A and B are shown apart, each in its own frame.
Chain A
């Protein structure tokens, strides 16, 4: 018997200037694992926020067990048995596991909290999850996987009948993911319905019964997972043939520009060696926590490596801080643009010129008209969709913010190596190909490009060479022609495999 525990119809959510959801629909059966797929910016997270009562839809109806409901806030959704587990657990790091589980539905007697009872109860929720920590442990000391387990235990403790898991595997290792799958199956057997959001196709095929696809804020369709192929899925998500998405021009690859030898930082990465040539796009891929970002941050002086060498055009560099790297010609375009890349309150023009103010000043005073001219030139070069250089960076879309960050790098005319960390994260489908085009053009202009990415299609399409990392080591190097999804995945998950000798040899000699 199929029965919809949750049904949403014609949901429309409008944020100032953007239609985040456009008449989307969704249904969830009892005891079903339902995957929700779509590119970044497709509206998945907004949709989840509508279900959990964080956002209020302008239009549309929601039915819970056939009854129409109208959530005014997250509390209403919780009371109705809907719980969400987010990718970055929304926990209290200073409090214990028990407190995190029972936050706002504590066990009380005469107005006093019953810690003993709560600890015992928490243990009861954690046991079936095979938790390897105590309920009295401080949340902040747990790993991300363990914190996620606490969040799931919290959902169970609230007697949730509908559980939403938002990218739960993004930060997990293969083993941890497998454990999560088993927990999900157990919950499913107990009649809990699960909405599962993930970027990984393997998650979807492994765990979900059905999948609903969103694209550009719209509902595309719902399919049985055993009836839809990977390629079809991608087409549904992206909305067109992949070919147009990755405009990569042929470029002439020149001599080696950046060479990194045996770079190590305790606890983050070890013995990382690689090289990048002029006009080349080199990708670094691997799971979250593989040490890709940390490696690049050390190359650029954001953090310090404990040992190893960084050579630019054969000359060893001494990089103590980001400005040293920039002076030498290496720049990192960070993944979290809002936090590390841009000053959101500032106009985009000021953002672009921030690193080059000294060059723009005469006798110590910034030449404002020259500054405006330069920022305009570079912003136009990357085709930023903005009206004025004084438009605050916060008002731009993710794709255009990325363009501002690129313009900021280009404005420093001495750049040789541009390292882009997840350049299309949070960028809509349409703008993505523009970013790729910019990347291709940069490579064509002779820049050496390093791209850190977790998105398989862009890695396969854009890179001349691919390095895979796992557990802080380089586990493989592939040429464009040899790279397949399977090989890359295999190398980035080869947890016990990699054979540091081989990888070192490969990385150093591999051309």
Chain B
């Protein structure tokens, strides 16, 4: 019969796919090195800090998307949630209804969590397909963002002290920018939750085998609901964050960027059918995406071609995954003794 010993299984392909993070890290390093050679200013600390700061929103939301994708769902309403929460906070500052930075973040996160809860309830308890619920949410929250804005927007002067948050580095002991500190903090928290807590592992369990998860006593619907709440919370939080980073609140902010978030996860090796993917992968996926975006003009590709290149890269990565998997299966089959 087709018995396989563990030694036989440790093929080269297995090694590569087993350490996806390592290969992604290699890609990232090679990418940075190549760009660094062409334009030395790329690898300066200030430039790297700038890249991280400008992509913090995508990176943080990639964490929530990771959880959503792990359960086998998808959420494309996140940028609408972001806009709604960000716009609300912007307007609150504009009309001097709040002044405290912390309160701004809190309100934004709360609004986001509420949006997530609506979608999550429809998906987890109402049996609505995640893409449909998320699409509905996308319309509703973007619409709400416009309503809140009421044909106005909040600029740097209106936001006042709130914009200082992204400029200062008091959370990072005066060395690291606040936004980057927050991003790192989010990654640390998610890394711990997803690896070392029961809740985190239930997310993986649901995506890996939903029925088995239910039988082993995991509250599938509750976990799924919470995952969307978390996604919403992060999106809302990022709403406030992007208001401070870009010093403006507009109802059409980060339109279409949900695709970048999903792309970051997919490049990072998160499976679209659930169950597999890591925080490290999501981080590296987001970093690679942002480095490429920054690097294209440096290597002479017109900024206008950026999206095309990004799309091609995502497509290439997913196709490469399939091809690798096929070759792996093939070589496993060939080793079977008949």
Contact = CB atoms under 8 A, between A and B. Distances in A.
A and B touching (C-beta < 8 Å)? yes
A495 B330 CA distance: 23
A269 B211 contact: no
A108 B1 CA distance: 40
A472 B338 contact: yes
Interface string B195-216: 1111001001101110111011
Contacts of B192: 112
A268 B333 contact: yes
Interface stretch (A29-37, A90-98, A393-401): A90-98
A171 to B, nearest CB: 10
A94 B275 contact: yes
A93 B216 contact: no
Contacts of B334: 266-267
A280 interface: no
A504 B208 CA distance: 43
A90 B211 CA distance: 8
A487 B249 CA distance: 81
A132 interface: yes
Contacts of B209: 90-93
- Point out which of A54, A92, A111, A112 has the most chain B C-beta atoms below 10 A from its C-beta: A92
Contacts of B196: 112-113, 115
A74 to B, nearest CB: 5
Interface in B164-223: 192, 195-198, 201, 204-205, 207-209, 211-213, 215-218
Interface in B318-338: 330, 332-334, 336-338
A173 B208 contact: no
Contact of B1 (A78, A94, A137, A471): A471
Contacts of B300: none
Interface string A68-85: 000001110010000000
A346 interface: no
Nearest to A269: B338
Contacts of A94: 204, 207-208, 271, 275-276
Contacts of B198: 106, 108, 113
A289 B1 contact: yes
Nearest to A52: B215
Contact of A173 (B3, B213, B275, B336): B3
A103 B338 contact: no
A99 B201 contact: yes
Contacts of A145: 3
Interface string A38-65: 0000000000000000100000000000
A289 B4 CA distance: 14
Nearest to B7: A132
Given A92-B275, A471-B338, A132 B6 contact: yes
A267 B1 CA distance: 11
Interface in A276-311: 287, 289, 291
Nearest to A106: B198
B44 interface: no
B150 interface: no
Given A75-B217, A266-B334, A137 B212 contact: no
Nearest to B212: A90
B2 A104 contact: no
B38 interface: no
B275 A93 contact: yes
Contacts of B46: none
A270 B338 contact: yes
B96 interface: no
Contacts, number: 99
A113 B208 contact: no
Contacts of B332: 267
Given A113-B201, A267-B336, A269-B338, A91 B217 contact: no
Contact of B205 (A103, A115, A175): A103
A143 interface: yes
A108 B217 CA distance: 17
Given A93-B209, A267-B334, A103 B216 contact: yes
A499 interface: no
B5 interface: yes
A132 B5 contact: yes
Nearest to B192: A112
B301 to A, nearest CB: 37
Contacts of B271: 94
B217 A78 contact: yes
Nearest to B5: A132
A388 interface: no
A113 B332 CA distance: 34
A267 B217 contact: no
Contacts of A113: 195-198, 201
Interface string B1-35: 11111100100001000000000000000000000
B215 A95 contact: no
A471 B337 contact: yes
Nearest to A265: B333
B38 to A, nearest CB: 39
Contacts of B6: 132-134, 137
A93 B3 CA distance: 18
B197 A111 contact: yes
Contact of B3 (A133, A134, A143): A143
Nearest to A76: B217
B213 to A, nearest CB: 8
A497 to B, nearest CB: 13
Nearest to B217: A75
B215 A74 contact: yes
A92 B218 contact: no
Interface string B268-304: 0001000110000000000000000000000000000
A132 B10 CA distance: 13
A143 B2 contact: yes
Given A266-B334, A267-B336, A471-B1, A92 B197 contact: no
Contacts of A470: 1
Contacts of A403: none
A443 B222 CA distance: 55
Interface of A: 54, 73-75, 78, 90-95, 99, 103-104, 106, 108, 111-113, 115, 132-134, 137, 141, 143, 145, 173, 175-176, 266-270, 287, 289, 291, 470-473, 495
24 contacts: A78-B217, A91-B209, A92-B209, A92-B212, A92-B213, A93-B209, A94-B204, A94-B207, A94-B208, A103-B201, A112-B196, A113-B195, A113-B201, A115-B195, A173-B1, A175-B3, A176-B1, A176-B3, A266-B330, A267-B334, A268-B333, A287-B1, A470-B1, A472-B336
List the 10 closest pairs (A to B, CB-CB), nearest first. A267-B333, A94-B275, A92-B208, A173-B1, A472-B338, A94-B208, A90-B212, A75-B217, A112-B196, A94-B276
Given A90-B211, A115-B195, 19 more contacts: A75-B217, A92-B209, A94-B207, A94-B275, A95-B201, A95-B208, A99-B201, A111-B197, A112-B197, A133-B6, A175-B3, A176-B1, A267-B2, A267-B334, A269-B338, A287-B1, A289-B2, A291-B338, A471-B1
